[in-house]
Structure 1
């Protein structure tokens, strides 16, 4: 079974080696989906409590990226590299993590399932 929760953050960045307009400083309203996979616990009936998931995601990711300049943490801050960075922040505390989805715009998304 897969459990998925949605988050948002606002951030600015530029892609220094981009041949077009994305080389300039700009911002996005990012949407993030975090998915964990497992079998629901017999006693609780849950894979993980949504609140427990959010505590990890907010502490490890949202609190560090929201209203920030992404290049300070992820120098080549493409959607692909942001997804990998998010995975690396979450996986140690969420061993059942199976996928992150990073929407840079409403119609541009990267899905990462780990290396």
Structure 2
């Protein structure tokens, strides 16, 4: 069949955004005060390409999981209610724990707190 490629494994990456407020209670500087961020989240899955669909997962199916498990819980919220010490590192672990049971191919997430500050988490 023309156009069908057999690939053993690929990495798929999809981008999401959410707005949220937090403070870091033990921070020695200005981050101990209430403030907000426009977060960017990259979700990466690694897996074999299904020869029938030509995909690791449909992007729409991935988004249904990410929006349901993460974005709907974090967008326009006060993060300290869910993650008391809401550093970018702890936010990334919380996101991983929400997604991994539904997305076994999850291999990495990237959480950008600002355009130039990011945490990359590959699971425990």
Q: 1:71 aligned to 2:80?
A: yes
Counterpart for residue 103 of structure 2: 94
Residues in 1 aligned to 2:94 and 2:109: alpha-carbon distance in whole angstroms: 10
Larger Rg: 2
Counterpart for residue 105 of structure 1: 114
Under a length normalisation based on structure 2, what TM-score does the superposition of the two structures give?
Answer: 0.92
Query: Which secondary structure does the structure 1 equivalent of 2:44 belong to?
Result: strand
Q: CA deviation at 1:2?
A: 0.2
Q: After the TM superposition, which parts of structure 1 deviate over 4 Å for at least 4 consecutive aligned residues? A: none
Counterpart for residue 4 of structure 2: none
Residues in 2 aligned to 1:25 and 1:35: alpha-carbon distance in whole angstroms: 30
Residues in 2 aligned to 1:101 and 1:48: alpha-carbon distance in whole angstroms: 19
Alignment root-mean-square deviation, CA: 0.2
Q: CA deviation at 1:79?
A: 0.1
Under a length normalisation based on structure 1, what TM-score does the superposition of the two structures give?
Answer: 1.00
Q: Deviations over 1:45-95 (max 9, x none)?
A: 000000000000000000000000000000000000000000000000000
Count of residues in Structure 1 that have an aligned counterpart in Structure 2: 115
Residues in 2 aligned to 1:84 and 1:100: alpha-carbon distance in whole angstroms: 9
Residues in 2 aligned to 1:50 and 1:106: alpha-carbon distance in whole angstroms: 24
The gaps in structure 1 that reach 5 residues or longer are none
The gaps in structure 2 that reach 5 residues or longer are 1-9
Query: Which secondary structure does the structure 1 equivalent of 2:92 belong to?
Result: helix
Query: Which secondary structure does the structure 1 equivalent of 2:20 belong to?
Result: strand
